[in-house]
Chains A and B, each alone.
Chain A
Amino acid sequence: MPYDSNTDRDREDMLREIGVGSMDDLFADVPSVLRTTADLDVPGPLSEAELVRHMQRLASMNRTTDDVVSFLGGGIYDHTVPAVVRYVTSMPQFYTAYTPYQAEASQGTLQSIYEFQSLICRLTGLDVANASMYDGASAAAEACLMGVSIKRRHKIVVAGSAGPALRAVVATYLEASDIEIAELPVVGGVTDVSGLEEHLADAAVLVVQHPNFFGVLEPMEELAAKCEAAGALLVVSVDPLSLALLRPPADYGAAIVVGEGQSLGSPVGFGGPLLGFMSARREFVRRMPGRIIGETADTEGRRGYVMTLQTREQHIRRQKATSNICTNEGLVALGAAVHLSLLGKKGFRELAVQVTSKAHYAAEALASVGGVSLRFDAPFFREFVVDLPVAAHRVKEELGRVGIWPGISCGCWYDGMEKSLLVSVTERHTREDIDSLASGLEAVISAGGNS
């Protein structure tokens, strides 16, 4: 096999040095009755050429966002990934390193993650951030557990307008606890604030996604004020790109801000790896889950970085740890740091302006199609919901035939929204792409959903 360096001769010599007669003897601890006698029934071995041929065939069986005009989003967005991001994350010094347990030999990883934490805080306006979480959904779940541990209240309230994946993962993480989950109804595309006081009275946290699953901006000021009054912590799940334009959540009183960072330099990648991030007020840093990188100095006073506050973590605190997370999404966080550094203050804002402009152009174009209307009369950022005269899945089928994927059928996730489509736009869409969606939609609808 190509990846081991010991020849059969080496193996024999080494067995002799160890003082055992055969490879079987080396496994003497494994009772022979328990050992596998037959070869494993797995395919291979393949040569590199055979592997490549097989993988290319598998890859060709998928249609990608390059093959069609796709308006799919819903939390995972098809942005251009700059070559520099791939270049840096492909450096073996980064991708073949382990968790930086030996800080003196891991300053590259440590400083880049420190920079990632700093960049995240510049977006959210909060004081501290961790080295990453698995994805936006698990970050939200961990924020709930963190809030419960801070407030010592055993209830959380989640906005129903938060993404279905986020709500599902939160429910899984809290399944085994005695924490009650209340879900707020959605009215007009945003969280219904009536009756919120009652819900929040004994709640540790309120989790709001902003912009929400429908792309709509939530009334954050009002939600924050009600949290404040009830003594609950406000947890906001953000789209990081939106923070190029929108108020930093710290401004309106968010205690913990989490989010999905896939849009910061990751491909859509069939949904993984993703990138969860978490930032919080400084006072909560000792309750945070996961790795945190801190600045320090070496024996000669040179600046350096280490994993800090490790006594929160599972490898030290075991069952009393703030979380079970160990491996996170380090390399993806590095990619996000590279992405944010590359676009910079100017480029990141321009990207957000483009996305907003194109999303609004698309919304107008679609709303001008007969029988199509915008579902919500509320400000939105990068995606929006349109109501169709026919079932969304029918429109998807028809448009799919001409290479247009118009969006996500909301009916998959929300009752009564079978004729609604969540349309998502990025800088990769041209005016022509958007116009072709509008004209395609028009054709499908005028043919009665059956062009």
Chain B
Amino acid sequence: MTDPTKTGAVLEPTVFELSHPGRSGYRLPALDVPEVDLAEVLGSANLREGPPELPELSEPEVVRHFTRLAEMNFHVDRAMYPLGSCTMKYNPKINEEMAGLPGLTGIHPEADATECQGAISLVYNLGRMLAEISGMDEVSLQPPAGASGELAGMLIVRAYHNDQGNPRSKVIVPDTAHGTNPASLTLAGYDAVEIHSGPDGRICVEALADMVDEETAAFMITNPNTLGVFEDRIAEIAEIVHSAGGLLYLDGANLNASLGVVRPGDVGFDVMHFNLHKTFSTPHGGGGPGSGPVGVKSFLAGYLPTPVARRDERKARGFEFDFDYDRPKSIGKVHSVYGNFLVAVKAYAYILTLGPAGLRRVAENAVLNANYLQKKLEPLYDLPYKGLCQHEFVLSATRQKEHGVRALDIAKRLLDYGLHAPTVYFPLIVKEALMVEPTETESRASLDRFVDVMAEIAAEAERSPELVKGAPTETPVSRLDESRAAKELNVTWQGR
């Protein structure tokens, strides 16, 4: 039977095409004050000719439109989402409910501290918990995403060196780094200097020693790195960087593997950011909102973004919690207010639900699941970096490429089997990379299913490569033409 949704050229019209003049899906209260003459109060020269051409739909039509769009999405509540470095774990439902409590959603940020003690205590206490988990001394929740946390962290590095009277010019990053790392340090005024990974996927400590000099502001790394490998010589690395006066920065994207196992602050990191939307289970929302708190050792605490939540147990000012704005050394603000508070609420609820033993079990199961998958997939796909992995590992589709099947094709074919694809073509140093991060919330049965499908695709790649290259066929649309999108650029609906 033909799928009726696939016979037309348009799966779901845009909201503009669904518009019909005269409708609105929302009713306002009756205006109980005199209606102003707009030209008089705003000035006729300031007024637009007619209202903006927004679509006109009833409420049920709006709901149907977005429901039909939703049905075209893959999501983690449906099946495994093994995107490497993205930590697509299950998003606990109670956390969504807690973040929707009217006593939290309805707080205006300009309310006096006395009127929002619950909210400030949450900000303060989540900061304390993240500090304890990471071994950092102080944490600010202000950065609204990981890259914003990186910028804040790098500006802290900069402020520190400037204060020492010793501004520096470069930051070293490994070739396995997330793209945000070099982009953020550039925004913080530094030159990115790349260090190559050694044959075991780790930083070559000897090469680093040659590279670090008095111009090195920081060494910015992810640990475990994006190959899923822990930098086992991290103590030596810290020593090299510190003895040259530099700082050690941790991109905390992969912190999931370390919870309760190893604390970045204990192994020499001076500054780091967290990704609450990865490690601490807050949903990714199809591209945010995230939350990227920045944590530092105490000697850097004065540089944290303003304001900083603080606690006064003696209530000298009459209350326990407030925000400290008097931070003369601060890098300033990276967000309009306090960051993505309602995202932080979910991370707070998650930590309280798990407790210390539960957090450690997250790391254990994340690493267990990854190693289990790696072991099962190693016979089927090339594994450039062998040995135990941490929370993720990177396969290479070089074997399949001999049949003309690329990593991208394998990714698309996975969609046909109802699974999400791994991250592809990253890290950049692995050819035809497939970067797999199962996370701790997948069951063994779910991992086995992934292995079965990957085995089937490997067999298909040999037997019928065209099938894989023609994937996906089971998704709402077949493969989309990315170069046409860039060439015939259409980023806004031009019709009525």
Interface string of B306-332 (1 = CB under 8 A from A): 000000000000000000000000011
28 CB-based A-B contacts, threshold 8 Å: A34-B235, A52-B94, A62-B111, A62-B116, A64-B103, A76-B336, A93-B78, A104-B412, A105-B472, A108-B72, A111-B14, A112-B66, A123-B52, A129-B491, A169-B336, A221-B45, A270-B116, A294-B486, A297-B484, A303-B11, A308-B485, A319-B183, A331-B286, A332-B285, A338-B62, A341-B55, A344-B19, A356-B42
Q: How far is the CA of A243 from the CA of B52 in the complex (A)?
A: 8
* Smallest CB separation, A129 vs chain B (Å): 7
Closest to B292 in A: A327
Which residue of B46, B81, B287, B368 is within 8 Å of A100 (Cβ)?
B287
Q: Does A66 lie within 8 Å of B372, measured CB to CB?
A: no
Given A66, A172, A273, A294, which contacts B331 in the complex, CB threshold below 8 Å? A172
Q: Which of A265-315 contact B (CB under 8 A)?
A: 267-274, 282, 285, 291-306, 308-309, 313-315
Q: A1–B358 contact, CB under 8 A?
A: yes
The residue that A30 contacts in the complex, of B112, B262, B343, B415, with Cβ under 8 A, is B262
Which of A303, A334, A341, A351 sits near B28, CB closer than 8 Å?
A351
Interface residues on B, range: 35 or more
Q: Please determine whether A105 and B112 come into contact, CB atoms closer than 8 angstroms.
A: no
Q: Check B480–A62 contact: CB distance below 8 A.
A: no
Contacts of A123 in B (CB 8 A): 52
CB distance from B158 to the nearest CB of A (A): 6
- In the complex, besides A40-B260, A40-B360, A165-B336, 11 extra interface pairs with C-beta distance below 8 angstroms are A4-B365, A14-B444, A30-B230, A45-B357, A51-B349, A100-B287, A115-B14, A245-B47, A291-B287, A296-B488, A327-B146
Residues of A within 8 A of B147 (CB): 314, 324-327
- The residues in B between 58 and 112 inclusive whose CB is less than 8 angstroms from any CB of A are 59, 62-63, 65-67, 69-78, 81, 83, 86, 88-92, 94, 96-98, 100-112
User: Are A248 and B48 within 8 A (Cβ)?
Assistant: yes
Residues of B within 8 A of A233 (CB): none
A296, B482: Cβ atoms closer than 8 Å: yes
Of B29, B74, B192, B352, most buried by chain A (CB within 10 Å of CB) is: B74
Chain A stretch 54-109: residues in CB contact (< 8 A) with chain B: 54-67, 70, 72-76, 78, 82, 84, 86-109
Counting CB contacts under 8 A, is B249 at the interface?
A: no
Q: B282: nearest residue on chain A (CB-CB)?
A: A95
Contacts of A328 in B (CB 8 A): 145, 287-288
Contact in complex: A303, B10 (CB < 8 Å): yes
Chain B residues touching A, majority SS? loop
Q: B464 near A: Cβ within 8 Å?
A: no
Q: Is A105 a contact partner of B74 (Cβ separation < 8 A)?
A: yes
Stretch of B117-125, B239-247, B398-406 lying at the A interface: B117-125
Of the candidates A109, A314, A345, which one forms a contact with B54 in the assembled complex, judged by CB atoms under 8 Å apart? A345
Contact, CB under 8 Å: B48 / A326: no
Contact of A93 among B48, B71, B186, B482 (CB under 8 A): B71
Q: Does A258 contact B (CB under 8 A)?
A: no
**What total count of A-B pairs have CB within 8 Å?**
716
The segment out of A16-24, A152-160, A198-206 that lies at the interface is A16-24
Residues of the A chain whose Cβ atoms lie less than 8 Å from the Cβ of B33: 357-358, 361, 431, 434
* CB-based contact A36/B108 at 8 Å: no
- How many residues on the A side are at the interface (Cβ–Cβ under 8 A)? 208
- Whether B281 and A3, one on each chain, are in contact in the complex, defined by CB atoms closer than 8 angstroms, is yes
A436 at the interface (CB under 8 A from B): no
The 8 A CB mask of A126-145 against B (1 = contact, 0 = none) is 01110110111110000001
B residues in contact with A251, CB < 8 Å = 48
Report if A414 contacts B (CB, 8 A): no
Complex Cα spacing A334 to B67, Å: 12
A344 contacts B81, C-beta separation under 8 Å: no
Residue pair A171, B332 in contact (C-beta under 8 Å): yes
- Among residues of B, the one whose C-beta sits closest to the C-beta of A248 is B48
Does A373 belong to the interface (CB within 8 Å)?
A: no
With A18-B371, A40-B132, A107-B11: A46-B355 Cβ-Cβ less than 8 Å = yes
**A327 contacts B145, C-beta separation under 8 Å:** yes
Q: Are A35 and B155 in contact (CB under 8 A)?
A: no
Whether the pair A138, B148 counts as a contact (CB closer than 8 A) is: yes
Bound complex: CA of A93 vs CA of B351, how far in Å?
25
Instruction: Kindly state the separation between the CA atoms of A102 and B414 in the bound complex, as whole angstroms.
Output: 11
CB distance from A332 to the nearest CB of B (A): 6
When the two chains form their complex, are residues B77 and A92 in contact, meaning their CB atoms are under 8 A apart?
Answer: yes
Chain A residue with Cβ nearest B277: A327
Distance between Cα atoms of A113 and B26 in the complex (Å) = 21
A175 close to chain B: CB less than 8 A: yes
Q: Would you call A430 and B32 a contact (CB within 8 A)? A: yes
Shortest C-beta distance, B81 to chain A (Å), equals 7
Q: How far is the CA of A356 from the CA of B38 in the complex (A)?
A: 8
Interchain CB contact under 8 A, A217 and B412? no
Query: Would you call A302 and B109 a contact (CB within 8 A)?
Result: no
- Contact A308-B110, Cβ < 8 Å, known A14-B372, A29-B229: no
- B411 an interface residue at 8 Å Cβ cutoff? yes
Chain B residues closer than 8 Å to A82, beta-carbon distance: 25-26
B-binding segment of A5-13, A185-193, A223-231, A438-446? A5-13
Which of B101, B106, B277, B352 has the most chain A CB atoms inside 10 A of its CB?
B106
Q: Report if A176-B158 is in contact (Cβ < 8 Å); known contacts: A318-B183, A326-B147, A344-B23.
A: yes
CB-based contact A176/B155 at 8 Å: yes
Q: B206-214, B294-302, B435-443: which one contacts chain A? A: B435-443
Could you mark each residue 234-263 of chain A with 1 if its beta carbon is under 8 Å from any beta carbon of chain B, else 0?
000000000111111001000000001000
Task: Establish whether residues A330 and B286, one from each chain, have CB atoms under 8 Å apart when the complex forms.
Answer: yes
